[in-house]
Amino acid sequence: NDLSDLSAQSLAEHFGLSRNLISQYLNEAHNEGLVIKINTRPVYFLGKAELCERMKAEDLKSVYDSVEELMKDGAARKEKIVSFRKLVGHQESLKQCVEQCKAAITYPGIGLPILLQGQTGTGKSYIAQLTYEYSVEKGIIGKKGNFVTVNCAEYANNPELFLTNLFGYKKGSYTGAEKDKAGLLALADGGVLFLDEIHALKPECQEKIFLFMDKGIYHMVGDNETWHSAQVRLIFATTEDPQKVLLKTLLRRIPIVVQVPPLIDRSLQEKRELVHEIVTQESAKITRQVVFSELAYQTLVNHAYPGNVGELVNTIRASVAKAYLRDPAADPVELHLYDLPSFLLQSGTANGELMEYDDGKMIDTRQMMKQMAQLQKGGKMNMNALMGQKKGMNIPLNPRRRKW
């Protein structure tokens, strides 16, 4: 591709700034690891994160002598890392979350325990699953290592059952225990144990967990003499304030606390990407393309969802199901305003700004996302695409952070 727009001189002309000032910004960004430099004549500067994303490379060097060397190295570094790339916002609102999870799961030994904290429906379980997939892709966890999920809320009023299921039990340990049975720790040995809704556990259960975290060994229920060991990476999740619901002794053993933002704090562009991703999944299930009316689409993306991404998923599924039922043979399936749930209809009619949209004009989210991508990447590359948002720069920044 033509790189003529990516020299300091071209960028200076584009932004109406001096070449020296642009060079200063670019070199600062290069020193911070945000920009890759190609030492040709002229020197070219490319945003590292965006280039890694486009080349599907986990990492790239900071300096190359030619474009050919960059392409060759990028091809050699191309990895089959697809896990977190499936997560909408992994390079934006969820970037910090992803980096924390990567750091924790790759830490030498058995990694570092992770606590995912966020509102219901923000995607904590999905992030935990992707963290496990990432570790498998990187070879940190073998393919035989399991991802074991426990919903602790199911044991809120039965701590004995939780401990029995977690540690396993010996024959005769209680009425009905007719043979030894391994627990979830044994099942997760060599893999990941995800304890969701950890705040629901009684203090005595939390205490048993941090005792295991200290030594990596435990007793099965009914046998206080034999020690068993398990190499388990632990991921916890809670919707509550960890300081209020977790024992201090347990919390001190969890060095990585990941704050997963609510949907309302994420950009409208990410919300649209989520809608597109969910619709793509539903289209595959019904083997039909799904298109929206302009009004239905705007109503959907402009609504505030208290249940976050989870509520958005359920809303789209219900709407697609209703539109599909109306005409199962139709392809594409057309989703109109009257296919949306009643609470969305009420919010839509209350929003006078939405009335300018047409319920008869159909749009395809695939084409919309392509057009947005072209809009964001079209023309001369802006400074933020090159070096990320730099504080104190009075230069137009990343269009993906604008409120569309």
Q: Which residues contact 119 (CB under 8 A, 6 or more apart)?
A: 239, 260, 262, 308
Helix (H, G, I), strand (E, B) or coil at 385: helix
Long-range contacts (CB closer than 8 Å, 24 or more residues apart) made by 23-28: 25/383, 25/387, 25/390, 25/393, 25/395, 26/386, 26/387, 28/387, 28/390
Q: What is the pLDDT of residue 404?
A: 25
Q: Which residues contact 25 (CB under 8 A, 6 or more apart)?
A: 383, 387, 390, 393, 395
Q: What is the pLDDT of residue 352?
A: 65
Q: What is the pLDDT of residue 176?
A: 76
* pTM value > 0.85: no
Please list the pLDDT of the chain residue by residue as tens digits (404 residues). 567 788 888 888 888 888 888 888 888 888 888 889 998 888 888 888 778 777 777 678 889 998 888 888 887 766 666 899 899 999 899 999 999 999 999 999 999 999 999 999 999 999 999 999 999 999 999 988 999 999 999 999 999 999 999 999 888 777 777 888 899 999 999 999 999 999 999 999 999 999 999 999 999 998 888 999 999 999 999 999 999 999 999 999 999 999 999 999 999 999 999 999 999 999 999 999 999 999 999 999 989 999 999 999 999 999 999 999 998 999 999 999 999 998 887 765 556 667 778 888 998 877 766 665 555 554 434 444 444 433 333 333 333 332 22
DSSP state of 382: P
User: What whole-number distance in Å separates Cα of residue 320 and Cα of residue 326?
Assistant: 10
Q: What is the pLDDT of residue 191?
A: 97
User: What whole-number distance in Å separates Cα of residue 360 and Cα of residue 39?
Assistant: 54
Q: What is the pLDDT of residue 391?
A: 37
DSSP-assigned states of every residue in 82-93: -TGGGSTTTTTT
DSSP state of 260: P
User: What whole-number distance in Å separates Cα of residue 292 and Cα of residue 281?
Assistant: 15
Q: What is the pLDDT of residue 41?
A: 84
Q: What is the pLDDT of residue 367?
A: 74
User: What whole-number distance in Å separates Cα of residue 336 and Cα of residue 315?
Assistant: 13
User: What whole-number distance in Å separates Cα of residue 230 and Cα of residue 289?
Assistant: 47
Token pair for residue 145?
């290592």
Residue found under tokens 């705007």? 298
Q: What is the pLDDT of residue 220?
A: 92
Q: What is the pLDDT of residue 133?
A: 95
Q: What is the pLDDT of residue 242?
A: 96
